[in-house]
Structure 1
Amino acid sequence: MPITIADVAIRAGVSKTTVSRVLNGKGELGQATAARVRAVIKELGYVPSDRAVGLARGRARVVGMLVPSLTWPWMGEVLQGAVDVVESEGYGLLLFTCNRGDESMRRFASQVSAKSFDGLLVVEPEGTLDYITALHDRGLPVILIDDRGRQPQFPSVQTTNRAGALAAAEHLLALGRRRPLVVTGLHRFGCTSERLAGFAEGYARAGLPLDPHLVVEGDFTLDCGRAAAQRLLAAGTPFDAVFAHNDLSAAGALQALRAAGRRVPEDVAVVGFDDLPLAAHTHPPLTSVHQPLRQMGEVAARALIAHFDGTPLPATPTVIPTTFTVRGSTSGA
């Protein structure tokens, strides 16, 4: 039978509360009593569970994480980064998605009320920022991952969407590409406006403002990238590059170009955004703006757990810069 806190209390001749105080360093105890309890703990080989110690300290030793859906292409990378840190620090992770809309949020709210977790990591589900802000204002530690340009009034971990898109523009310009097709994300997302602004800035600096007929709103799917390229190809609209706001859209454009007999990168160079594992396995491999997705999850989780141990949460957004990965869709290698 496993040794319990009650066994320690009986052998040491004290209450379970006293043993708990020794374990957690709480309360005024005589040195002799504390020494006796520690000796019995060692003698019996008692090992308190992380959860028991956490509850004694007023913590669940659980991190909550709220995300829109696990079907988002890059969500797995962010989640893995958070899990790596949470598990290494001896915490559990309670994951919530918003796949069922209001029903999902009601279930999430019930877990908030039950204090099932000590703090919250959030990839903001659409329409929930006010509610999350209210939770933060009521004292729940919250860190937002990928703030999508909203600049919340609580800590966030983000990346350089605008600078990443500017790097894509500069790369294409250096290759002599003057008429890029831009397949954006949904316009209501802050990351879309930032990426479009950064890319447009690069071309404007070169005296080549973007042709509005070549800027097409997409929805971050394979189909939208394929459809945008197919439509322009069918209409005979010339373009010599594609900049897609995520890798899936870029992969769809690659499919359309290949089906139309256009050579990549000789005829059309293609750049994506995210640099997911998929990017290395398209045909040809995709040049992409690398988002530090796993690192963003790691940094957010580490800051939250450090806060549990007394470190103040960051007062300003933590920004992890994008980088640029060149592959065959622009280099011809």
Structure 2
Amino acid sequence: MPITIADVAARAKVSKTTVSRVLNGKGELDESTAARVRAVIEELGYVPSARAVGLARGRTRVVGMLVPSLTWPWIGEVIQGAVDVLETERYGLLLFTCNRGEESMRQFGAQVSAKSFDGLLVIEPEGTLDYIATLHARGLPVVLIDDRHQASGQIPSIGTTNHDGAGSAARHLLEIGRTRPLMITGPDRFGCTQQRLTGFATAYAEAGHPITDDRVRTGDFTAAAGAAGVRAALESGVDFDAVFAHNDLAAIGAMRALLDNGKRVPQDVAVVGFDDIPTAAHTQPPLSTVHQPLREMGEAAARALLGHFEGTPLPNRPTVIPTTFTPRASTVL
């Protein structure tokens, strides 16, 4: 038979109301009584109804999280960071993906209408930013984990230093004597693409080695695009001694194409990525990359949301967690 609140009350020799107050953190209670009740709850393994506790507290103690897809190679790190914080504070996570497009968003909207969660963490599925901003304006607490530098200030956000991160990649390549880099970008429509392009190109221009248009190839953050960018540059006779790809997948594709075409990495061409996904340390050779603080971004977003529930206003400007550079054997012998 399931353990009930009445069982806890009987074992602790208190009323059900007292047990309820301990569970909900409400009311003035003698600390020794509260400790005895908590000990009995632990002893009996009592798990209160989440719905009942939510009603008593005026909230569900569940946080929603909307993401584009679980197949993105870095997304698990962000989610894990958020979960680490939420579980510590005894919150649940209700995860939504946008794998089925409009149907997914309809199902998500139904859960919003049902008030199934107290607040929302978002890695924006492309094209949903206006909708998320509307939800926030209507009173749903939202924190955007802004991986693409798309936030306009309407939504509290956690971001990172795309411009400076790309600059650190450029300085590393310059320090090892690589003055003719090929850059494989992400999609032009993303803010992070523009920041990474500008940060990298500015560092090279300041060092007296401006990057010409023939050494910039537009990609889409996939390994196939990284490989295609390298092949196109080789076929057109572009002279380059390094590749900076705007994410690790593209960098991995670029390395594969270089090796397939008889180029040694890093002896002939050094390769740098961006993200520092778990796979980056295990490529052959291991990939030098700009480390995005993915787990830290998830943690910070969750802390901001839980702080809001306790009365701390959500930040009215982006919270920025800096990148760091991780050198490995794709650039350093």
TM-score where L is the length of structure 2: 0.89
Partner deviation per Cα, 1:260-313 (whole Å, 9 max, x = no partner): 111111211111001111111111111100001011111111221222222222
SS at match of 1:209: coil
Amino acid at match of 1:65: M
Partner deviation per Cα, 1:138-167 (whole Å, 9 max, x = no partner): 111110002522333221111100000011
- Give the structure 2 partner of residue 129 of structure 1: 129
- Give the structure 2 partner of residue 290 of structure 1: 291
Q: Find out whether 1:87 has 2:87 as its counterpart.
A: yes
Rounded to whole Å, the distance in 2 between the matches of 1:44 and 1:127 is 50
SS at match of 1:73: coil
Q: How does 1:26-175 map to 2 (within 5 A)?
A: 47=46, 49=48, 51=50, 52-151=52-151, 152-175=153-176
Partner deviation per Cα, 1:86-132 (whole Å, 9 max, x = no partner): 12221111110111111110000000000111110000111111111
- Give the structure 1 partner of residue 262 of structure 2: 261
Q: How does 1:227-242 map to 2 (within 5 A)?
A: 227-242=228-243
SS at match of 1:231: helix
Rounded to whole Å, the distance in 1 between the matches of 2:39 and 2:222 is 61
- Give the structure 2 partner of residue 223 of structure 1: 224
Please, which moves more after superposition, 114-123 or 138-147? 138-147
CA spacing shift, 1:50–1:196, aligned 2, 3 Å: farther
TM-score where L is the length of structure 1: 0.89
SS at match of 1:86: helix
- Give the structure 1 partner of residue 327 of structure 2: 326
8 A contact 1:160–1:319 mirrored in 2: yes
Please, which moves more after superposition, 306-315 or 94-103? 306-315
- How far apart are residue 237 of structure 1 and its match? 1.7
Aligned CA RMSD, in angstroms, stands at 2.8
CA spacing shift, 1:199–1:16, aligned 2, 3 Å: same
- Give the structure 1 partner of residue 177 of structure 2: 176
Rounded to whole Å, the distance in 2 between the matches of 1:195 and 1:69 is 23
8 A contact 1:11–1:40 mirrored in 2: no
Q: Percent identity?
A: 68
Rounded to whole Å, the distance in 1 between the matches of 2:297 and 2:36 is 44
Structure 2 residues without counterparts, runs of 5 or longer: none
List, as ranges, runs of 4+ consecutive aligned residues in structure 1 with deviation greater than 4 Å: 6-12, 14-23, 37-48
8 A contact 2:53–2:60 mirrored in 1: no
Rounded to whole Å, the distance in 1 between the matches of 2:16 and 2:285 is 66
Please, which moves more after superposition, 41-50 or 162-171? 41-50
Amino acid at match of 1:59: R
- Give the structure 1 partner of residue 196 of structure 2: 195
Rounded to whole Å, the distance in 1 between the matches of 2:21 and 2:154 is 37
CA spacing shift, 1:17–1:265, aligned 2, 3 Å: same
Rounded to whole Å, the distance in 2 between the matches of 1:174 and 1:43 is 60
Partner deviation per Cα, 1:238-271 (whole Å, 9 max, x = no partner): 1111000011111111111111111111211111
- How far apart are residue 55 of structure 1 and its match? 2.8
CA spacing shift, 1:44–1:326, aligned 2, 3 Å: closer
Rounded to whole Å, the distance in 2 between the matches of 1:264 and 1:88 is 43
Structure 1 residues without counterparts, runs of 5 or longer: none
Rounded to whole Å, the distance in 2 between the matches of 1:54 and 1:141 is 17
Q: Which is greater in Rg?
A: 1
Rounded to whole Å, the distance in 2 between the matches of 1:42 and 1:175 is 60
Rounded to whole Å, the distance in 1 between the matches of 2:161 and 2:94 is 28
CA spacing shift, 1:64–1:238, aligned 2, 3 Å: same
Rounded to whole Å, the distance in 2 between the matches of 1:244 and 1:38 is 57
Partner deviation per Cα, 1:29-70 (whole Å, 9 max, x = no partner): 9x9xx99x9799689868562723233101111110000111
Rounded to whole Å, the distance in 2 between the matches of 1:320 and 1:189 is 19
Rounded to whole Å, the distance in 2 between the matches of 1:39 and 1:72 is 45
